[in-house]
């Protein structure tokens, strides 16, 4: 979804980047069920910032988060205008072309993404050497849309995986990236943070969410040049998907046709609350892409708010 470099993981995606490995279930592999790599929801900082609030409490904000830039995936469309979702980043490696996963800026030091992005298809931990995130990007193959001093690759200082994540399974598929540079979230509209939920009991069932990324336009297809977005309803059931836990949510259509896909993993799934976007999901896995009764599965952000707060205590939230 973002312009940067790609992680050398399992299955190749268009443009020379590589997608996360494919999985069927715990300890099983399949050519259909895949980790997808996308994450949604962002906080935007325009002035002063604050620390992350308690999961169940709402604070008055001195500045706003989750503010998309003024308008205008499988079955989706190009995110328009460029930099519409300024929290969107792409994960890659120096010296590699394209992005292998997505992520979302949540404060001035951290990106929220999926844990499976850092393992190969056999479940082996990949090297973090040369890991970068692309910020302020829109068209992956061109610098024409880049903003001087804003669009850049930021080195990753540390990958923080959830302690309960098992690379042979799907649960706890969440990770944080501590950046090697502090992000300026107040000066440029192209780089902002996404909002995190204030209420850890909210399910968001029935609400329409936006997923964004540079993932493939169809199962086995190549990645698009420009960041794409797709609207997906959050479901009360995961239909024919199996192995679903309380730390997951499903979004999509019973008839299929629209979905996230390979290369979207770790990217944000966001709902709009008033004028701001709140990240409620992180792209995790699915049975193929956009199949009937097989909606995409996302890590449920509300179940990880305490963990995120503990791991990012040195950061400033908007």
Instruction: DSSP letter for 197, please.
Output: P
Pick the closest to residue 115 from 316, 287, 307 (CA basis).
Answer: 307
- Rounded average pLDDT per 10-residue block, the chain, 318 residues: 32 30 32 42 33 40 65 54 91 88 98 98 96 91 80 96 96 99 93 97 97 85 85 95 96 91 93 97 92 95 98 94
Closest CA to 223 of 287, 153, 141: 141
- Three-state DSSP at 87 gives coil
What is the tens place of the pLDDT at every residue in 161-192? 999 999 999 999 999 999 999 999 999 999 99
Q: How far apart are CA 261 and CA 283, in angstroms?
A: 9
- Among all chains, which residue has been given the structure tokens 């996360």? 20
Q: Residue 140: which of 72, 190, 90, 71 has the closest Cα? A: 90
For residue 288, give the nearest of 246, 223, 241 by alpha carbon. 241
Residues 6+ apart with CB under 8 A from 231: 76, 208, 209, 210, 258
pTM of the full structure? 0.79
Q: Does residue 128 have a cis bond before it (omega within 30 degrees)?
A: no
The secondary structure of 119-175 as a DSSP string is B-TTSPBPP-TTEEEEES--BTT-STT--TTTSEEEEEEEEEE-TT--TTS-TT--E
Give CA torsion, residues 207, 211, 217, 218, to 10 deg: -50
- Options 23, 83, 116, 162, the catalytic residue: 116
Provide the pLDDT for residue 19.
Answer: 33
pLDDT of residue 305: 98
pLDDT at 287: 86
- For residues 115 and 28, the answer to whether their CB atoms sit within 8 Å is no
pLDDT the model gives residue 28: 32
Report pLDDT for 192: 96
Look at the block and give the residue holding tokens 């902002």.
192
Q: Other CB atoms closer than 10 Å to residue 238's CB: what's the count?
A: 19
Token pair, residue 275, equals 């004028």
Active site residue 265: yes
Q: List all residues 6 or more positions away from 119 whose beta carbon is below 8 Å from its beta carbon.
A: 9, 20, 21, 125, 126, 167
Q: Which of 145, 171, 173, 225 is catalytic?
A: 173
19 near 100, Cβ under 8 Å? yes
3-state secondary structure of 259: strand
C-alpha–C-alpha distance, residues 1 and 217, integer Å: 11
Catalytic residue among 100, 265, 284, 287: 265
Domains in the chain (CATH in brackets) are 1-51+64-313 (2.40.10.10)
Cα(166)–Cα(245) distance, rounded to whole angstroms? 14
- pLDDT value of position 77: 56
Contact indicator for 248, 298 with CB cutoff of 8 Å = yes
Q: Which residues of 250-262 are buried (b: 16+ CB within 10 A; e: fewer)?
A: bbbbeebebbbbb
Q: How far apart are CA 99 and CA 19, in angstroms?
A: 8
């Amino acid at each position: 979804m973002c312009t940067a470099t790609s992680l050398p993981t399992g299955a190749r995606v268009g443009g020379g980047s590589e997608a996360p490995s494919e999985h069927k279930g715990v300890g099983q592999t399949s050519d259909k069920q895949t980790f997808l790599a996308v994450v949604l929801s962002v906080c935007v900082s325009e002035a002063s910032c604050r620390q992350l609030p308690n999961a169940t409490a709402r604070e008055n904000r001195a500045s706003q988060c989750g503010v998309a830039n003024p308008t205008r995936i499988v079955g989706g469309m190009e995110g328009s205008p460029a930099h519409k979702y300024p929290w969107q980043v792409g994960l890659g490696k120096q010296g590699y072309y394209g992005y292998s996963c997505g992520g979302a800026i949540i404060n001035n030091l951290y990106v929220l993404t999926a844990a499976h992005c850092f393992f190969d298809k056999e479940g082996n931990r990949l090297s973090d050497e040369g890991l970068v995130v692309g910020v302020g990007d829109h068209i992956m193959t061109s610098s024409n849309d880049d903003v001087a001093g804003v669009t850049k690759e930021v080195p990753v200082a540390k990958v923080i995986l959830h302690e309960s994540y098992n690379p042979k399974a799907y649960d706890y598929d969440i990770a944080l990236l501590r950046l090697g540079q502090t992000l300026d979230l107040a000066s440029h509209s192209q780089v902002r943070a996404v909002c995190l939920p204030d209420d850890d009991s909210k399910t968001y069932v029935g609400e329409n969410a936006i997923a964004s990324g540079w993932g493939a336009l169809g199962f086995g297809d190549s990645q698009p040049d420009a960041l794409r977005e797709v609207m997906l309803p959050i479901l009360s059931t995961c239909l024919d998907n199996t192995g679903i836990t309380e730390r997951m949510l499903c979004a999509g259509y019973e008839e299929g046709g629209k979905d996230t896909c390979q290369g979207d993993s770790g990217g944000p799934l966001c709902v709009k609350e008033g004028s701001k976007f709140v990240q409620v999901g992180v792209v995790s896995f699915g049975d193929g892409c956009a199949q009937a009764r097989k909606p995409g599965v996302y890590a449920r952000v509300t179940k990880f708010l305490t963990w995120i707060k503990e791991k990012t205590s040195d950061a400033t939230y908007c």
